[in-house]
Structure 1
């Protein structure tokens, strides 16, 4: 298989909901794949208009996506994946690269339908892995992991976005309680989270060390942290990741 770039590769997505918007929207923003090379399918027009407005092709036919595109993202609800794969499996070729974004769908489930996935099973090679990394590298961190980590990733990152939103909301509400306007509090909360995240990534330090570094003895931060510890924030977040991971695993057992 020859090397190819996003400018040359036709990318498709079966499913047009939030997962599809997140990934394909990132490809469009970064310019990795031009809109004319993107095709998205969904059973109704409800979500397809988002992609049409951005110059992408939209269709109600999953088979049309497979016939036009070499790289296929699966962004449907988990329980629909087997039926979708059965519907279009005869159209797949060894040159297709199939990436599942559905929680709780194992490699075994995908490979039973002859699909190739990035979390590499028996069919996907280094070139397929490199292609996916090339497409998604500008959208955020893109790493290959053992399949056993995928459900944990769902609990940590996939669901973790909602945990962060809840924390940001709580931060802003605290400032509102003390007299700051809501809109300003929300912007400052968001900027605070952004700065903290960049510091973790750029410094390479463990979050515990960074937390310790900003705690002045007797200062405001340690007093605030004490209240968070009394509220069992750490244990609650750990439990949330565990609960979401277990749910992702349960979805695959259906």
Structure 2
């Protein structure tokens, strides 16, 4: 049996990609094989998705065109060494382990195998993720395109040079946490002004979703869209003045810079 996709480590990211690719019709259950660590998890996933689910990573590696390794960074090298000798020459290995370089993975594989480093974010769990893909230089374009399509089934995906991956981690990888904080703060503001908590959260979350979608759909610069909301002598300009006075803009920039620097430090430990 030859599977189009093999997933090693069906945690939050791995399962999200499985669910999204099946829901969008990109893959059928018969196209996928998964490996997990426990029998209970194996049974649960097999019953839920009707895809072949096993307990052995090597079984996945030897039968898959795309081998998606979605494990913790501390585990990735152990997995690569375990499967290196059995990966088919025509397969492509994709890693979602944050901070783990292509060079370090290639060293563990000890073979010239098509390799892609991926940085998805939590949005993949609701098919609104943002993923950056950094392929090794010798990875064929058709394989890169197949992997890109896989991640596009759970959101958006772009292909970048690996030198940008720390910045991707600091922006879109960590970014959902920044936005959750903003949503929480907006909701707190609504509560302060008398709105019920659940109403405030819904208003804040949908407002952020709508604003983000407007940027993506229109392609307009955020500053131009901001100006469309800001009428002369209206309420919005007063709110914007408070945000500028509080340093929101520079604080968010600093957050991306700090997270990027931390990602780089973790890589070079």
TM-score (norm 2): 0.84
Say whether 1:93 aligns with 2:88: yes
Match of 1:30 among 16, 20, 24: 24
Q: Could you list the runs of 5+ residues in structure 2 that have no partner in the other structure? A: 117-133
The aligned residue for residue 201 of structure 2 is 186
- Secondary structure of 1:198's counterpart equals helix
The aligned residue for residue 117 of structure 1 is 115
Segments ≥4 residues shifted beyond 4 Å: 45-50
1:16 and 1:47 in contact (8 A); partners too = no
- Secondary structure of 1:22's counterpart equals helix
Q: Sort the Cα spacing of 1:238 and 1:44 in 2 relative to 1 into closer, same or farther, 3 A.
A: farther
- Secondary structure of 1:117's counterpart equals strand
Between stretches 215-224 and 132-141, larger displacement belongs to 132-141
- Secondary structure of 1:142's counterpart equals strand
Alpha-carbon distance in 2 for matches of 1:168, 1:64: 43
Post-superposition offset of 1:125: 0.9
Looking at secondary structure, tell me which structure has more strand per residue.
2
Q: Residues 18-97 of structure 1 correspond to what in structure 2 (within 5 A)?
A: 18-44=12-38, 48=42, 51-52=45-46, 53-97=48-92
Q: Deviations over 1:46-99 (max 9, x none)?
A: 755663322233222111111222111111111211111011100112211111
Q: Sort the Cα spacing of 1:239 and 1:22 in 2 relative to 1 into closer, same or farther, 3 A.
A: farther
Between stretches 78-87 and 12-21, larger displacement belongs to 12-21
Alpha-carbon distance in 2 for matches of 1:45, 1:169: 39
2:17 and 2:153 in contact (8 A); partners too = no
Q: Sort the Cα spacing of 1:122 and 1:48 in 2 relative to 1 into closer, same or farther, 3 A.
A: same
Q: How many residues align?
A: 247
Alpha-carbon distance in 1 for matches of 2:194, 2:80: 54
Say whether 1:253 aligns with 2:254: no
